[in-house]
Amino acid sequence: MDLNALDIQNEAIMTLMHDKLHLAPLSTTSPSQMLDVCTGRGIWAIDIADQYPDLTVKGVDWAPVQTSWVPPNLHFETDDMRRPWECGSSYDYIHTRATIYMGCWEDFKKDVVEQAFDNLRPGGWFESQEIGRLVMCDDGTLPADAPLATWARYLNTAASSQHRPRDVAGQMLEWYKEVGFVDVQQHVFKMPIGTWAADPRLRTTGAFWLASLDARLEGLSLRIFNETFGWEPAHVAVCCASSVITVGMDENTKSRRSEFAWLRQTEPQEPYYSRLHRVLCGLWAQANAG
Ligand SMILES: C[S@@+](CC[C@H](N)C(=O)[O-])C[C@H]1O[C@@H](n2cnc3c(N)ncnc32)[C@H](O)[C@@H]1O
């Protein structure tokens, strides 16, 4: 994991979101316990703990890469979040960010959405700030064979063959509803790649995002491209370098590339009934299968 890339990625997302750490209306629930799933460096967790000094925040990641200088109301734990969560329950707010496109999950719905539902207090919020498709274009001006588009296709093919889909954030809305969350809301942000945007804030966002792609493309690709396509490191390096370099060079398409980030806020009402409903549905499906 490239830690600098995570810092730059944080800058890009925060600039895109007008420096808002969350979109869920936390003031409606007077929260006291928060959980950040796959906290990474813990940058978001530190900022939210600073913003809400009366709350207790827990950040969990399986890699102990967090900084030791943290606000007194923040604690980090090391754990594999695909397993049943041992980091406690009764949270008022649970958060994920930038986990799906990193290929963290085989099954985001089962590993994260269901566990979040079971570990939230009634009325609590679950918010996912996830990147949708890594490379996309609104108006069809990005050629299918542009290096960055080609790289993204390879990544998605490789990720699917390894059962770690990376472009499934668009399905979150349905998963949340299926699990029993209510008041599900979605905000879509477009992340520019590069400095093409006229708006100064988006230009800064795009510069940060391109820099973070530059810092992590090769790391994201090396192992998975080798395992799936048998590519040697030099081949992967050339593919990644040309993907990033051409973003700045291609006049025809540079102003058209964009990316979605997805944000969801959900409020479970009567979660116990919903959970019971899920269990009954499971039993019903088993009985019918037999
Ligand atoms: C792209 S980073 C996102 C970090 C952070 N959420 C942020 O926005 O800065 C993804 C993180 O997920 C962690 N991760 C991946 N799979 C995990 C798992 N099964 N359990 C816990 N952490 C995991 C990685 O170690 C990495 O720190």
Q: What integer pLDDT is reported at residue 189 of this predicted model? A: 85
Sign of CA dihedral 56, 61, 62, 66: negative
Question: Ligand 1 centre and the CA of 150: distance in Å?
Answer: 25
Read off the tokens for 11.
């800058």
Cα radius of gyration rounded to whole Å, the chain: 20
Q: Which residues line ligand 1 (CB under 6 A)?
A: 1, 6, 10, 38-41, 43-44, 61-63, 80-82, 97-99, 102, 104
Query: Best mutation site among 38, 81, 127 for ligand 1, i.e. most ligand atoms within 8 A of its Cβ?
Result: 38
Q: CB of 215 within 8 A of CB of 4?
A: yes
pTM (two decimals): 0.87
Question: Ligand 1 centre and the CA of 25: distance in Å?
Answer: 25
Q: What integer pLDDT is reported at residue 271 of this predicted model? A: 43
Question: Ligand 1 centre and the CA of 221: distance in Å?
Answer: 16
Q: Which helix (H) or strand (E) holds 222?
A: helix 200-229
Question: Ligand 1 centre and the CA of 39: distance in Å?
Answer: 6
Q: All domains of the chain, ordered by start, with CATH?
A: 3-289 (3.40.50.150)
Read off the tokens for 125.
């919020």
Question: Ligand 1 centre and the CA of 34: distance in Å?
Answer: 17
| Collapsed DSSP state (helix, strand, coil) of residue 136 | strand
Question: Ligand 1 centre and the CA of 61: distance in Å?
Answer: 6
Q: What integer pLDDT is reported at residue 26 of this predicted model? A: 81
Q: What integer pLDDT is reported at residue 280 of this predicted model? A: 56
Q: Name 64's Cβ contacts closer than 8 Å, sequence gap at least 6.
A: 76, 78
Taking the CA of residue 129 as reference, the ligand 1 atom at the shortest distance is 8
CA-nearest residue for atom 2, ligand 1, is: 40
The amino acid that residue 94 corresponds to is: I
Read off the tokens for 246.
């051409």
| Local confidence pLDDT in tens for the 290 residues of the chain | 566 788 899 999 999 999 999 988 887 667 899 999 999 999 999 999 999 999 999 999 999 999 888 999 999 999 999 999 998 888 999 999 999 988 899 999 999 999 999 999 888 889 999 888 778 777 777 778 888 888 888 999 999 999 988 888 888 888 988 998 888 888 888 888 888 888 999 989 988 988 888 888 888 899 999 999 999 999 998 888 888 777 765 554 444 455 555 555 555 444 434 444 455 556 666 666 75
